[in-house]
Amino acid sequence: MGIKVLKTVGEAAEDTADFQTKINDSIRATRHAERLDSLFNPAITILTGISFVGTIIYGGYLVQTGALSIGSLITFVTYLSALVWPFLGLGFFFNNLQRGNAAYERITTLLAEQPATLDKKGLKQVPRGDLQIDLTTFQYPDATEAALQNVHATVQAGNTLGLVGPVGSGKSTLIQLLLREFDQYVGSIKINQIDIRDYDKDTYLPAIGYVPQDNFLFSTSVLENIRFADPNISLARVQEAARWAALHDDIMNLPDGYDTQVGEQGISLSGGQRQRLAIARALIINPDILILDDALSAVDAKTEQQILTMLHNQRRGKTTIIATHRLSAVVQAAETLVFEHGRVEARGTHSDLIQQGGWYARMFAAQQLSEKLDQEVTTHG
């Protein structure tokens, strides 16, 4: 998956060398094992042969001197040949035991992995209602410091919560907690007064529409990509979701419309089209909670406003959470949290935050200016 990046940063040669070293190690170990293995069979055959020859020579001598009867010698040789295979079998048994042990160790290491979330059966209830976030602290399993501290917010059903702040300030981390990727935090996140960790994951997750930063297209038609949650959804419903995501006109311009193959083997869509397709995919399930994680970054300002207005009109009574770098996406939000170093540094509506000054006001002014410049360049050439 990283091959494009590797090539563009010129790391391909180093990576190939790493891979070559690993392959050489593997070849060396396999050769050693094969050498020992190929010695085993001839050695056993020679040893067995020698024991028979020895028995016959020495036994023959004893028969000659009268110390042993010929019957006893033949009995001895018969017993000897009967013992060869069981002893070989014992050897194979220990060999298998060793291999099995090595494999078993790998399996137990895998089985001992702890899931990052509590894997328990919970309430089979659709999470619907007010969202209450009361996080004291959350630390990633391997991290040394907390990624989130003292994050508190209440989002009434039907409202939009904005999450903004510099890169690495904790926006995506909060979203990961909402998506139950980690359960080990101090504090609680509740929907309809119920801790989200008490919901059954199989009922909880399908009720949440999530559009990630790096959306993924499956190698199938546009139609199947949009109705991925349920292939039985009608074409009319798919088209409605595509219209809401301002994608319908783009799809109609594709060679086979909704049947156009995309992804690995088909047409590759532009960044903005992929984002809108991912939004349509999330909207089609009409989720009670919709999470957009910087999901409008590649669409132009006008389309962004069109989609946001649609969300506002179509999702009455349903909650939307928007994490974004472009502040114009949260202007309508009932409340926006401004994160910095995992803490909420400021909060409020758009106008509250502009009045307070600080990071939000500075960033908004800068983004407005840059957009104006873009427009002027487009208008005047």
- Give the binding site for ligand ADP (CB under 6 A): 140, 143, 147, 165, 167-173, 339
Nearer to ligand ADP, 250 or 293 (CB): 293
CB of 208 to ligand ADP, least distance (A): 18
* 289-293, strands of its sheet edge to edge: 208-211, 289-293, 319-323, 160-164, 335-340, 343-348
What letter does residue 258 receive in the DSSP assignment? G
Angle (CA) 221-225-227 rounded to 5° is: 115
Bridge partners, residue 134, by sequence: 152, 188
CB of 299 to ligand ADP, least distance (A): 19
CA-to-CA dists, residue 363 to 26, 106, 145, 350, 376, angstroms? 53, 51, 27, 12, 20
CB of 170 to ligand ADP, least distance (A): 4
CB of 172 to ligand ADP, least distance (A): 3
- Report how many helices (DSSP H) and strands (DSSP E) the chain contains, helices first: 12, 10
- What six digits make up the tokens of 4? 């494009």
Work out whether the CA dihedral 364, 365, 370, 376 comes out positive or negative. positive
Amino acid at 374: D
Nearer to ligand ADP, 142 or 249 (CB): 142
- What six digits make up the tokens of 128? 């619907």
Nearer to ligand ADP, 151 or 238 (CB): 151
CB of 114 to ligand ADP, least distance (A): 15
Nearer to ligand ADP, 168 or 357 (CB): 168
Nearer to ligand ADP, 147 or 307 (CB): 147
Nearer to ligand ADP, 51 or 172 (CB): 172
Amino acid at 341: H
Nearer to ligand ADP, 168 or 317 (CB): 168
Q: What is the DSSP string of 136-192?
A: EEE--TT-SS-SEEEEEEEE-TT-EEEEE-STTSSHHHHHHHHTTS---EEEEEEET
CB of 140 to ligand ADP, least distance (A): 3
CB of 173 to ligand ADP, least distance (A): 3
Please state, as a whole number, how many other Cβ atoms lie within 10 Å of the Cβ of residue 341: 15
